[in-house]
Amino acid sequence: MITAQMIIRNAMALAASMSTCQAGPCSVEIDRVQARIDAKLEARAAGGPLARESTAALLHRQPTPGSIAAAEEQLGEFSDEAVSTVAQGMERARAAESAGDTQACERALSDVERVIGP
């Protein structure tokens, strides 16, 4: 349950931290890919695997980022590399859109879609 909540919070923070760009030729595609990312994260969080509560959790200790990452990796959740690749790809797409470089925007979105899959 904590894993699902953390994924949703992280996705919301990532979406909120990304700067909004003015509408351009690639903005519709950026919005479409962002919606796919959001939907995939929500589905993964809602239906993701659950792990047993650790002894440390029963002692009222807060999880550390490292312990959360280790637990998610054991469950087969998103790797740090995949999350980083998606975030950087969306950032590149938005920067290219702001610069008016449609081809660079489309390449960045293609890279993101390759990571998030169908």
Indicate the average pLDDT of the chain.
76
Interval 43-67: pLDDT, tens = 776 776 666 766 766 776 677 777 6
Distance CA 117, CA 20 (A): 24
pLDDT of 32 over the 80 cut: yes
**Closest-CA residue to 31 (of 18, 13, 42):** 18
31 — pLDDT class (breaks 50, 70, 90)? very high
Is the model's pLDDT at 39 over the cut of 60? yes
Mean pLDDT of 68-92: 75
Degrees (nearest 5) of the Cα angle 81, 86, 92?
120
Report the pLDDT value the prediction gives residue 99, as an integer from 0 to 100: 92
pTM: 0.58
Distance CA 105, CA 94 (A): 7
